[in-house]
Structure 1
Amino acid sequence: MRYPGRVVKVGETDARIVKALKTALNKALVLRGSEAIVLEPDNPAFGPQMKQAVKLFQARHLDEQGQPLKTDGEVGSLTWAALFGPADVPQHVQPHDPLLVTVLAVAGSQADAGVREQPRNSNRGPEVDDYLRRAGMQPGVAWCCAFTYWCFDEASRQTGQANPMFKTAGCLHHWQNAPGQGARRLLARDAVADPGRVQPGAIFIMDFGGGLGHTGLVERIEGGYIHTIEGNTDASQGREGGGVYRLQRKLASINKGFIDYA
């Protein structure tokens, strides 16, 4: 059964969804004796007992990447995939917008080339300096957003069109000003509820407080996970890493939202 595009929790009113979940939970848990939780599929209520069953399932199962599920008694995309299989949650692998296809190709070329800061931990290097200058900044500062701008600018030059991205090297500055460029913003909570709304080529924004943030490009979406191409990071997924990397992040780890220039 396909993921309905929202988190399913206590109070759900769609009897068809509740019945499918109860049937799947009964099959997955198979408990007996005093521990038994037997749900009635024909009862359309998502109540406390069903929440308890969901929490038990989450405690005993991993997501498709082998990571623990959040034990909250709510059925989001990761729990749905664990119950019904990853094919029943959103999978997006290719942008529909030709410019964004080129943006991801440009970004991927930098990841494949293994761009790194020179020297380490300096926010400098031939490519890094170019990213920053293109975004209107002097070399030597955090450059994740400048990398994203450079990818859009290179793609726009290659395709002979104007760069639609707001020119900035600041992640949160970008978030504030992107709508003025015609971009659409998707709040983090709405993306978690419905991963199908996140498209390849979108830009994720993370907010760490105090004006600090991190950003990168979404290469593809697999249910509750996004695969990204990012600058100024590393395998630790930090915001002050030393290169351009392809990474995988839980969708729920993106706490600000997404910007879409499609």
Structure 2
Amino acid sequence: MAFAALDTSQNARNLVDCLKDKGIVAIGRYYTRKRTNSKILTLDEARRLSNAGIRIWPVYQNRHREQVDFSSVTGKAEAEDALDYARNVINQPTGSAIYFSADFDASQAIFSNAIRPHFEAIAAAFAAAGNPYRIGVYSSGAVCKALLDAGLVQLTWLSQSSGFRGTPEFKASRRWNILQALPVSGFCEFDDDVDPDEINNDNGDFGAFLLQAAQPMAAFAAAPAAAAAGLLFSDIAAAAHPEFPGTLAFRGTPLHRGEVGSNDVKALQTRLNELGFGPLVVDGDFGEATQNAVLHFQARNASSDGRPLPIDGEVGEITWAALFGPGAVFSTQAFDAKASMRDLVIDIAASQIGVVEQPHGSNRGPEVDVYIRTTGLNPANDSYPWCVCFLYWVFDQAAKIKGKENPLPKTAGVVSLWNLGRHTEAEVVRKSEANAQTVKPGMIFFLDLGGGKGHAGLVIDVVGDHLVTIEGNTNPGGSSDGYGVFRREARPITTGVLLGYLDFCDI
């Protein structure tokens, strides 16, 4: 039988060439709490698959074949473990999916008493982390339908076991995203059977991912010392092409054949060379060779959400995001230009919740690089704390929608923005004046953490004597040295380290 996707419990790192030759475009692999388990997806394997353009969808499974394997306590622990492995080991891109297994024919009673509380806890843990990933389930038709109807999962992977409750009906409904078939033997020299899978073309987004910064094997060969030293792909790219390091923001209009002398085309040519779709002369001229390289890239890659790229030879926002990472593209079309600056700032900040560094602790990543670059810094030059960069970017997008200049002074420093901002027309609320009446949504809070360090974030609500905020370079626990954009629920309005608040929204 011919198939283009499969799932396996075996490491596929040494079988990538065979998978490509057989036309495999996606593979299901495992996350699990047992780090020594041989069936677990490794970072090296994920990189090799991504370099080959083979998308990955992970499933978290520790047996999960009996009622005793499910509870709210277990669900919370496994969700947190899956999130940790996805973020801090694999560097899984945000917006993709993690599936969780319920691999047996569960009765309605077992579903109600065990599986549903288990997935409610998973959903709560993901929400507390800012929903960086979508939640999927691998199970029977009855369980898939019930969890989907309850809004506890966004994606479903239907088990091959056609005798399970509700499976024929759910299969016929075509609400599944992945449909598993019976195993086959002797495929690509796997030691054990593999399971073919069908991707639902009606619901073509099934949450699979490619590691956007996967290092091409050719680049490793060209830079063995850098690879041995553990440098990031973006570091190697920056060293080779200092004019275009890191991630570049999409300009808003497609790049196409006939453009000449364009810095955006130079960046495109550089990136295509880095990814092995050259060699191209980096001259800024979008000619036939560049167009052919774009077509080749589009034919062999997918968008960050797993959809096929348009094969048109032009570089619109979808192809740009596939090349440079999803953070390089931000569409203002979803926001109402008639809204107030205050509402736009809050809405744009909220749209970024769940963005995380890639890898964790690096002060880098597709979206993070864009935030940093907006303030005029080169993210490849140093490890920059980016909480103020995030705020500057948010206000910059809102200002563009309103057709005005960014009201924030262009700086990446917390204390610097506090000092510069107080000499603008921004409303100032000092620490001694801060209370539930003077602090309002849209303001920026400033903390002085000593030693020249600080932290800042956006107020989106005031509840009693506490704030609801959206902050960059933080974590769900609220530390200043964090790794993502998160919503915080309980910052006190005033603390000993508070400098005060600035309101730039009405300038």
TM range (shorter): 0.5 to 0.7
Query: Using the alignment, how far apart are the partners of 1:259 and 1:121 within structure 2?
Result: 28
Counterpart-to-counterpart distance in 1, 2:428 and 2:377: 25
C-alpha separation between the residues in 2 aligned to 1:158 and 1:185?
25
Which segments of 5 or more consecutive residues in structure 1 lack a partner in the other structure?
A: 1-96
Please tell me whether the aligned partners of residues 107 and 229 of structure 1 are also in contact (alpha carbons under 8 angstroms): yes
SS at match of 1:115: coil
Query: Is 1:103–2:345 an aligned residue pair?
Result: yes
TM-aligned CA deviation for residue 181 of structure 1: 2.4
Partner of 1:121: 361
C-alpha distance in 2 between matches for 1:181 and 1:167: 12
Asked whether 1:130 is paired with 2:370, we answer yes
RMSD: 1.3
Structure 1 CA distance, aligned partners of 2:501 and 2:454? 13
Question: Which residue identity does 2:404 align to in structure 1?
Answer: Q
Corresponding position of 1:256? 499
Q: Which has the higher contact order (CA 8 A, sep 6+)?
A: 1
Which of 481, 485, 488 aligns to 1:240? It is 481
In structure 1, which of residues 149, 152, 160 is the aligned counterpart of residue 392 of structure 2? 149
Amino acid at match of 2:371: Y
* Matches of 2:455 and 2:378, distance apart in 1: 19
In the alignment, the residues of structure 1 paired with residue 378 and residue 448 of structure 2 have an alpha-carbon distance, to the nearest angstrom, of 23
Residue 214 of structure 1 aligns to which amino acid in structure 2? H
Structure 1, residues 144-177: CA drift from partner, whole Å, max 9, x if none? 0000000000111112111111111100000000
- Residue by residue over 1:34-53, the C-alpha shift from the partner in whole angstroms, topping out at 9 and shown as x without a partner, is xxxxxxxxxxxxxxxxxxxx
Partner of 1:207: 448
In the TM superposition, what are the counterparts of 1:57-68 in structure 2 within 5 Å?
Answer: none
Q: 1-side partners of 2:377 and 2:473: how far apart? A: 15
**Separation in 2, partners of 1:202, 1:225:** 14
SS for the counterpart of 2:412 is coil
SS of the counterpart of 1:169?
coil
Distance 1:228 1:222 in 2: 11
Q: Which residue of 2 aligns with 1:181?
A: 424
Give CA-to-partner distance per residue, 1:6-62, whole Å, 9 cap, x none. Answer: xxxxxxxxxxxxxxxxxxxxxxxxxxxxxxxxxxxxxxxxxxxxxxxxxxxxxxxxx
For 2:347 and 2:476, the matched residues in 1 are separated by 21
Could you tell me how far 1:189 is from its partner in structure 2? Answer: 2.2
Partner of residue 406, structure 2: 163
Question: 2:468 aligns to what?
Answer: 227
Between 1:240-249 and 1:156-165, the stretch displaced more is: 156-165
- What is the Cα deviation at residue 223 of structure 1? 1.8
Count of aligned positions: 162
TM-score normalized by the length of structure 1? 0.60
**Partner Cα distance (2:425, 2:372) in 1:** 23
Query: Residue deviations 1:218-246, cap 9 Å, x none?
Result: 00111201100000000121111110000
Supply the distance in 2 between the matched residues of 1:219 and 1:210 (Cα, whole angstroms).
28
Name the SS for the 2:449 alignment partner. Answer: strand
In structure 2, distance between residues paired with 1:167 and 1:181: 12
Q: Quote how far apart the aligned CAs of 1:101 are.
A: 0.8
Relative to total residues, which structure has the larger helix share, 1 or 2? 1
**1:100 aligned partner, one-letter code:** R
TM-score w.r.t. length of structure 2: 0.31
Contact kept, 8 Å, 1:200 with 1:221, in 2: the verdict is yes
Task: Give the SS at the match of 1:256.
Answer: strand
Runs of 4+ in 1 over 2 A off after TM superposition: none
**Structure 1 residue 252: deviation in Å?**
2.3
Q: Is the 8 A contact 1:178 1:184 kept in 2?
A: no
Unmatched 5+ residue regions in structure 2? 1-338
Counterpart amino acid of 1:137? Answer: L
User: Match for 2:457 among 212, 216, 229?
Assistant: 216
- Inter-partner Cα distance in structure 1 for 2:469 and 2:431: 16
Q: What code does the residue aligned with 1:160 have?
A: G
Give the Å deviation of 1:185. 1.6
The change in CA–CA distance for 1:222 and 1:255 in structure 2 (over 3 A counts) is: same
Q: Which amino acid aligns with 2:406?
A: N
Distance 1:107 1:228 in 2: 10
Q: In 2, Cα distance between the equivalents of 1:175 and 1:217?
A: 13
What is the CA–CA distance in structure 2 between the aligned matches of 1:252 and 1:184, rounded to whole Å?
17
Q: Secondary structure in 2 aligned to 1:130?
A: helix
Structure having the higher Rg: 2
